[in-house]
Amino acid sequence: MFHVVFSLLVVLGATLIALPAGAVVGHTGRGREAAVLVSGALRALPTLGLLTLFALALGVVVGAPYLALVVLAIPSVLAGAYAGIGGVDRRVVDAARGMGMTETQLVLRVEGPLGLPTIIGGIRAAVLQVVATATLAAYVGAGGLGTYIFLGLKTRDFTIMLGASILIIALALVLDGVFALLQRLVVPAGVRAARSTELRARRSHRARPATG
């Protein structure tokens, strides 16, 4: 239970940091190169090294792995945010702006809902990364399922290691399924209807016999 709660709290912290920044980048189109650069740089950081650094600075507490994993989760959330907001059809945004919407209203009422599936996709990727990597929290004595892996490694009890590994894999698959379902549910009804109409039109075109 601790592993799940801890992982979700890590992703929540990363989302609170990266989502507003990604929304600003996606909405304004400014700073995209910087966002890509930051995401790449954070992905390149070795999580175990970062965890050790925070542990040395803060001591062996939950805060050390929490901060290290937040840094790990930020790139996926940031990329999903600016891709989701920035990927909205500019004609729709311009039409909403022409109706008198403010920039904040555009983000919250137009770009946000339309880009939400991509945003959820970024959060989904972050959840999978964190659930798998949160095992390293046990390296500094913070608990979680990684405790059994390190214990099994120390005592050469491979049964415990295998059991913990299976639980972590199962947990990752369950959470991935939940976020995949959520990603589908947040697609606006109008977008789903438009996709269905386009799909039917394509099938009708393919089924139409060739003439001449």
Domain presence at residue 90: yes
Domain presence at residue 202: yes
Task: Look up residue 183 and give its two tokens.
Answer: 């990603």
Q: Tell me which of 1 and 30 has the higher pLDDT.
A: 30
Q: How many domains does the chain have?
A: 1
Predicted pLDDT at 76: 92
At 51, which amino acid appears?
L
Domain presence at residue 212: no
Residue 54: exposure state from Cβ atoms within 10 A (0-12, 13-18, ≥19)? buried
Q: What is the rounded CA–CA span in Å between residue 179 and residue 167? A: 18
Q: What is the CATH number of the domain that holds 147?
A: 1.10.3720.10
Domain presence at residue 193: yes
Instruction: Indicate the pTM of the whole model.
Output: 0.82
Q: Tell me: pLDDT of 195 over 60.
A: no
Domain presence at residue 78: yes
Predicted pLDDT at 46: 81
Q: Tell me which of 15 and 139 has the higher pLDDT.
A: 15
Residues 6+ apart with CB under 8 A from 115: 26, 83, 84, 85, 86, 87, 88
Predicted pLDDT at 194: 55
pLDDT tens digit string along 138-189? 777 667 777 888 888 788 888 888 888 898 889 889 999 999 999 888 887 6
CB 54 within 8 A of CB 65: yes
Q: What is the rounded CA–CA span in Å between residue 208 and residue 57? A: 69
Q: What is the rounded CA–CA span in Å between residue 17 and residue 206? A: 47
CA dihedral 8, 84, 22, 89 (to 10 degrees): -160
Q: Tell me: pLDDT of 211 over 70.
A: no
Q: Tell me: pLDDT of 196 over 60.
A: no
pLDDT tens digit string along 30-62? 888 888 888 888 888 888 888 888 877 776 667
pLDDT tens digit string along 65-117? 888 889 989 999 999 999 999 888 888 888 888 888 888 888 888 888 899 99
For the chain, the average pLDDT equals 83
pLDDT classification of 206: cutoffs 50, 70, 90 = low
Q: What is the rounded CA–CA span in Å between residue 196 and residue 200? A: 6
Range(s) of the domain holding residue 161? 2-207
Q: What is the DSSP string of the chain?
A: -HHHHHHHHHHHHHHHHHHHHHHHHHHH--SHHHHHHHHHHHHHS-HHHHHHHHHHHH-SSTHHHHHHHHHHHHHHHHHHHHHHHHTS-HHHHHHHHHTT--HHHIIIIIIHHHHHHHHHHHHHHHHHHHHHHGGGGGGGT--STHHHHHHHHHHT-HHHHHHHHHHHHHHHHHHHHHHHHHHHHTS-HHHHHHHHHHHHHHHHHHHSPP--
Predicted pLDDT at 161: 85
Domain presence at residue 118: yes
